[in-house]
Amino acid sequence: MKVCIYGAGAIGGWIGVHLAQKGHDVCVVARGASLRAIQKNGLQCLQAQPTEMRHVVQVKASDNPADLGPQDWVIVAVKAPAMLDVAKGIAPLLAPHTVVMTAMNGVPWWFFQGFGGNLDGTTLGTIDHHGRIAQAIPAHHVVGCVVHASCSLDAPGVVRHHFGQGLILGEPAKQLSEPSARVQNLVAQLVTAGFNASASAQIQKDVWYKLWGNMTVNPISAFTGATTDLILKDDLVKDFVSQIMLEAKEIGEKIGIPIAQTPADRHAVTMKLGAFKTSMLQDVEAGKPVELDALVSVVRELGQLTKVNTPYTDALLGLSRLHASVHGLYPAQ
């Protein structure tokens, strides 16, 4: 398949290297230092387990999607603040059959496309204020992907994979009796490439479940500098996290995505992962914009849409965006 990785960061680079190793025709849209590094040294991935290995693949890379042409599969693996720029540039990569798979954190712009119920087709202003992303990437192209893995960048174009191989794919449409043919095909390609890939009957459930865990520890780590274990070892902070999760859980029930777990259940899962830096803390340390809107602002917006009060979420958002704004990583209010 012709595969384009749009955003050669940690997750995009990790996926791209393994697909290229299995013979797919992989290209990359990148900019600046990342583009120069990939053009000179190839796209690289350091695999930590069971023993450290360096995988290097040579791929075509450009900052102009028109240089790469129409693709079979575009994997968008950027942080949410960059998504509008992707929308502006993605057109040359799209043919009628092209699948655009979003491997991103947080609630995506397509969350309510084909969702069903009262919110079907709702545009989330905190994610896609004027509907520009949805206009640039029509719904029929989209397949959602939820990533359960930890990767970071050692240097431009050099990814370090820490743990996890999970990729969950699904159509952003009403719950299906079985995965679509194109989702099954993509899952098969990913499994062959070494990922623990699976298909979901309703990908929004998987998006919401992941968000339920990282909408709290990500921003708290960003403004405290703490790893996840330290956040949950502090009883006062852990209680604050739990209250936010209960608000999000109520919202999920209102929109038809209930979560059976309690906050304590999820804390136990997070603690098993040990001490690690969240992606948002990595962004702060690198001086990159933080994706607060896709993780926190959108939950506040959903609370307003569903008439659920969110005082703890509001407090988290206020603190997080103030910290990020002061450091030039989020637009000033």
Given 210, 238, 254, 288, which residue is catalytic?
A: 210
Residue 307 annotated to the active site:
no
Helix 263-272 vs helix 235-254: crossing angle, to nearest 10: 120
Residue entry with tokens 């057109």 = 91
CB neighbours (10 Å) of residue 97?
Answer: 12
What's the distance, CA 251 to chain centroid?
20
Q: Among the residues of the chain, which ranges form H helices?
A: 10-21, 32-41, 83-89, 132-136, 181-192, 203-224, 228-233, 235-254, 263-272, 279-286, 292, 298-306, 311-326
User: Longest C-alpha distance within the chain, in Å?
Assistant: 53
Q: Report d(CA 51, CA 22) in Å as an integer.
A: 21
Amino acid at residue number 118: N
DSSP secondary structure of 289-309? PP-HIIIIIHHHHHHHHHT--
Catalytic residues: 210
